[in-house]
Structure 1
Amino acid sequence: MSTKSDSVCRAALRGGSVLSAFALAAALASPAAAQETTPSEAPVLPMASAEDVIIVTGSRIARPDLQAASPVSVVTQESIKLSGTSGVEDYLRDIPQAVAAWGSATNNGNEGAATVDLRNLGEERTLVLVDGKRFVPYDSNGVVDLNMIPPALIERVEVVTGGASAVYGSDAISGVVNFIMRKDFEGIEADAQYGLTTRGDGQKTALSLTAGANFAEGRGNITINGTYRKEQAVYQGARGYSFDALAAADFSPGGSFTNAPGFVDLGPDGYQFDAGGNLIDLGANPGAFEPFNFNPYNLLQAPNEQWTATVLANYEISDSLEFYGRGSWAKSKVTTIVAPTGTFFFPFDINYLDNPFLSAQARGVFAGFDLDDPATPANEAGDGIVSAALGRRLTELGTRDSIYENKAWQVVGGLRGEFSGTLRWEVFAQYAKTKRTQDFVNDVAYDRLFQAVQVTPGGACVDPSGGCVPANIFGPGNLSEEAAEFIRLDLHQDDSTSQFVTGGFVTGDLPFTVPMAATPGAFVVGVEYRKETSKARPDANLIAGNSIGFGGSTPIDAQYDVKEAYAELKLPLVSDMSFVQELNLEGGVRYADYKNKVKTLGVGNSYSNWSWKLGGDWKPVNDLRVRVMYQRSVRAPNINEIGQPQTPSTGDATFDPCADSNPVGNPALTQLCIDTGVPAAQIGSVGGPIAGQINNFIGGNPDLVPEKSTTWTIGAVIQPRALPGFTATVDFFDIKVKDAILQIPEQSVLDICYGIEQDASGTFCSLIARSPTGRLNGDTTVGVDVSRRNIGQLRSQGIDIGLQYRFDIGAAGSLGLAFAATRQLKTDLQFASLLPTNECVGLVGKICLRPDPKWRWTQTTTWNNGPLTLQLRWQYIGKLTNDTVGFGTADPADFVVPKIKAYNYFDLAGSYDVTERFSLRGGINNLFDKQPPVVGNDYGGTTENSGNTYPATYDPLGRAFFVGATVSF
Structure 2
Amino acid sequence: MCPAVATAQDNEAEQSADLEQIVVTGSRIARRDESAPSPIMTVGEQFIEDTGQVNVEATMNEMPQFTRDSSGGQGTGGRALLDLRGLGATRNLILLDGRRLPISSSSGVVDTNVLPTSVVRDVEVITGGASAVYGSDAVSGVVNFVTQRGVEGVNVDVQYGNSMENDYASYNASVTAGAVTEKSSLFISVSSARQDALYGKDRFDFFQLGIPSSYIGTGTFVPSATNLPDQAVVDAMFAGYGYGSVPNNNNLGFNDDGSLFSQTGAVNYMGSDESDYRIVNGNVRMPVQIQGMLRPQTDRKNLFARFDYEFSPAVTGYAQALFTDHTAVTNSGGTLTQFGTPTIPVTNPFIPDDLSTLLASRADPTAPFSYNARYVMTPAKSWDENYVTQQYIVGLEGDTGFRDWTFDAWVSWDNSRHNQVQHNAVFLSRVQTLFNAADGGDSICAGGYNPFGLANVLSMSDACQSYISGDTHSTEELQRTAFDVVVQGSLFELPAGDVMFSASANYRNDEYYFSPDKALAEQDVQAVIAAQPSAGSSDVTELAAEFIIPVTDSFEIGTAYRMSDYEYSGTVNAYKLDGLWHATDEIMVRGGYQRAIRAPNINELFSAATGSQVTFGNPPSGGEPCDVRTAARAADTSGELRGLCVAMGIPVETVDNYLFPTTATATLSSGNIELQPETADTYTLGAVWNTEFGSNQTLVLSADYYSIEIEDVISAVPGLTAINKCHNLDGSNPTYSTDNAYCQLLSRDQDGYLELVRTPYFNLGQLATDGMDFQVNYKLSTGAGDFSVHSVITYVNSYEVVTLPGDEGVDEAGTIGFMTTPRPKLRAQTSFGYEKDAMSLTLRWRFTDSMDDRSTLTNTASTVPGVPSYNKFDLVGRYRLTESINLRGGISNLFDKDPLVVAGTPGITDNESYDIVGRSYFVGATMSF
What TM-score, normalized by structure 2, do the two folds share?
0.89
State yes or no: 1:361 paired with 2:354: yes
Is the partner of 1:478 in helix, strand or coil? helix
Instruction: Give 1:316's match in structure 2, choosing from 310, 325, 345.
Output: 310
In structure 1, C-alpha distance between the alignment counterparts of 2:639 and 2:833, rounded to whole Å? 68
With over 3 angstroms needed to count, the CA separation of the structure-2 counterparts of 1:45 and 1:931, relative to structure 1, is farther
In structure 2, C-alpha distance between the alignment counterparts of 1:818 and 1:796, rounded to whole Å? 26
Instruction: Give 2:683's match in structure 1, choosing from 681, 704, 712.
Output: 712
In structure 1, C-alpha distance between the alignment counterparts of 2:68 and 2:797, rounded to whole Å? 18
Q: How does 1:454-533 map to 2 (within 5 A)?
A: 454-456=436-438, 458-460=439-441, 470-479=448-457, 480-481=460-461, 482-513=463-494, 517-533=495-511
In structure 1, C-alpha distance between the alignment counterparts of 2:90 and 2:394, rounded to whole Å? 26
Cα deviation digits, residues 692-735 of structure 1 (max 9, x gap): 31222133222222111111110001123556521111000011
Cα deviation digits, residues 575-598 of structure 1 (max 9, x gap): 2xxxxxx11111111111111xxx
- The match for 1:652 is 615
Instruction: Give 1:133's match in structure 2, choosing from 99, 118, 125.
Output: 99
Cα deviation, residue 277, structure 1: 4.0
Amino acid of the structure 1 residue aligned with 2:920? A
Instruction: Give 1:409's match in structure 2, choosing from 368, 373, 390.
Output: 390
Instruction: Give 2:918's match in structure 1, choosing from 923, 938, 958.
Output: 958
Cα deviation, residue 915, structure 1: 1.4
Q: How does 1:30-69 map to 2 (within 5 A)?
A: 30-33=2-5, 37=6, 40=9, 54-65=22-33, 67-69=35-37
> Quick check: 1:138–1:497 contact (8 Å CA) kept in 2?
yes
With over 3 angstroms needed to count, the CA separation of the structure-2 counterparts of 1:460 and 1:955, relative to structure 1, is closer
> Quick check: 2:529–2:666 contact (8 Å CA) kept in 1?
no
State yes or no: 1:862 paired with 2:862: no
Is the partner of 1:893 in helix, strand or coil? coil
Cα deviation, residue 667, structure 1: 6.0
- The match for 1:162 is 128
In structure 2, C-alpha distance between the alignment counterparts of 1:277 and 1:345, rounded to whole Å? 28
In structure 1, C-alpha distance between the alignment counterparts of 2:870 and 2:464, rounded to whole Å? 49
Amino acid of the structure 2 residue aligned with 1:441? H
Cα deviation, residue 469, structure 1: 7.5
Cα deviation, residue 882, structure 1: 1.2
Higher relative contact order (CA 8 A, sep 6+): 1
- The match for 2:219 is 262
> Quick check: 1:258–1:344 contact (8 Å CA) kept in 2?
no
Cα deviation, residue 344, structure 1: 3.0
Instruction: Give 2:547's match in structure 1, choosing from 563, 569, 575.
Output: 569
Q: How does 1:500-649 map to 2 (within 5 A)?
A: 500-513=481-494, 517-575=495-553, 582-595=554-567, 605-649=568-612
In structure 2, C-alpha distance between the alignment counterparts of 1:52 and 1:156, rounded to whole Å? 18
In structure 1, C-alpha distance between the alignment counterparts of 2:168 and 2:505, rounded to whole Å? 47
Instruction: Give 2:201's match in structure 1, choosing from 205, 226, 237.
Output: 237
Cα deviation, residue 475, structure 1: 1.7
Cα deviation, residue 878, structure 1: 1.2
Amino acid of the structure 2 residue aligned with 1:587? T
- Mean Cα deviation higher: 220-229 or 193-202: 193-202
- The match for 1:899 is 866
State yes or no: 1:804 paired with 2:771: no
> Quick check: 1:452–1:468 contact (8 Å CA) kept in 2?
no
Cα deviation, residue 659, structure 1: 3.1
In structure 1, C-alpha distance between the alignment counterparts of 2:595 and 2:215, rounded to whole Å? 49
With over 3 angstroms needed to count, the CA separation of the structure-2 counterparts of 1:879 and 1:49, relative to structure 1, is farther
- The match for 1:329 is 323
In structure 2, C-alpha distance between the alignment counterparts of 1:281 and 1:191, rounded to whole Å? 59
Q: How does 1:193-342 map to 2 (within 5 A)?
A: 193-215=159-181, 218-246=182-210, 255-266=212-223, 267-282=248-263, 286=267, 288=269, 289-342=283-336
- The match for 1:726 is 699
- The match for 2:62 is 94
Is the partner of 2:342 in helix, strand or coil? strand
- The match for 2:766 is 793
With over 3 angstroms needed to count, the CA separation of the structure-2 counterparts of 1:736 and 1:284, relative to structure 1, is closer
Is the partner of 1:396 in helix, strand or coil? coil
Amino acid of the structure 2 residue aligned with 1:783? L
Is the partner of 2:417 in helix, strand or coil? strand
- The match for 2:73 is 107
Cα deviation, residue 222, structure 1: 0.4
Instruction: Give 1:149's match in structure 2, choosing from 74, 94, 115.
Output: 115
Cα deviation digits, residues 753-777 of structure 1 (max 9, x gap): 232244424432111111111011x
- The match for 1:22 is none
> Quick check: 1:828–1:837 contact (8 Å CA) kept in 2?
yes
- Mean Cα deviation higher: 128-137 or 699-708: 699-708
Cα deviation digits, residues 857-890 of structure 1 (max 9, x gap): 111122222222221111111112211169x627
- The match for 1:433 is 415
Cα deviation, residue 685, structure 1: 3.4
Aligned length: 871
What TM-score, normalized by structure 1, do the two folds share?
0.86
Cα deviation, residue 340, structure 1: 0.7
State yes or no: 1:741 paired with 2:714: yes
Cα deviation, residue 678, structure 1: 2.8
Amino acid of the structure 1 residue aligned with 2:290? P
In structure 2, C-alpha distance between the alignment counterparts of 1:87 and 1:66, rounded to whole Å? 27
Amino acid of the structure 1 residue aligned with 2:47? S
Cα deviation digits, residues 732-753 of structure 1 (max 9, x gap): 0011111111233322112222
Query: Which runs of 5 or more structure 2 residues have no equivalent in the other structure?
Result: 224-247, 270-282, 617-621
> Quick check: 1:655–1:689 contact (8 Å CA) kept in 2?
no
With over 3 angstroms needed to count, the CA separation of the structure-2 counterparts of 1:569 and 1:562, relative to structure 1, is same
Cα deviation, residue 225, structure 1: 0.4
Cα deviation, residue 449, structure 1: 1.5
Cα deviation, residue 612, structure 1: 0.8
- Mean Cα deviation higher: 627-636 or 719-728: 719-728
In structure 2, C-alpha distance between the alignment counterparts of 1:772 and 1:784, rounded to whole Å? 16
Cα deviation, residue 163, structure 1: 0.8
With over 3 angstroms needed to count, the CA separation of the structure-2 counterparts of 1:102 and 1:54, relative to structure 1, is farther
Instruction: Give 1:916's match in structure 2, choosing from 872, 879, 883.
Output: 883
Amino acid of the structure 1 residue aligned with 2:107? N
In structure 2, C-alpha distance between the alignment counterparts of 1:328 and 1:871, rounded to whole Å? 33
> Quick check: 1:686–1:773 contact (8 Å CA) kept in 2?
no
Instruction: Give 2:752's match in structure 1, choosing from 764, 774, 780.
Output: 774
In structure 2, C-alpha distance between the alignment counterparts of 1:122 and 1:281, rounded to whole Å? 44
Cα deviation digits, residues 42-73 of structure 1 (max 9, x gap): 9x999x99958945311101112584311111
> Quick check: 1:397–1:443 contact (8 Å CA) kept in 2?
no
Cα deviation, residue 669, structure 1: 4.1
Cα deviation digits, residues 191-238 of structure 1 (max 9, x gap): 1011112112211110000011113xx221000100000111221211
With over 3 angstroms needed to count, the CA separation of the structure-2 counterparts of 1:872 and 1:774, relative to structure 1, is same
- The match for 1:838 is 810
Instruction: Give 2:791's match in structure 1, choosing from 806, 809, 819.
Output: 819
Is the partner of 2:79 in helix, strand or coil? coil
Amino acid of the structure 1 residue aligned with 2:889? G
Cα deviation, residue 965, structure 1: 0.7
In structure 1, C-alpha distance between the alignment counterparts of 2:557 and 2:786, rounded to whole Å? 38
In structure 1, C-alpha distance between the alignment counterparts of 2:191 and 2:827, rounded to whole Å? 32
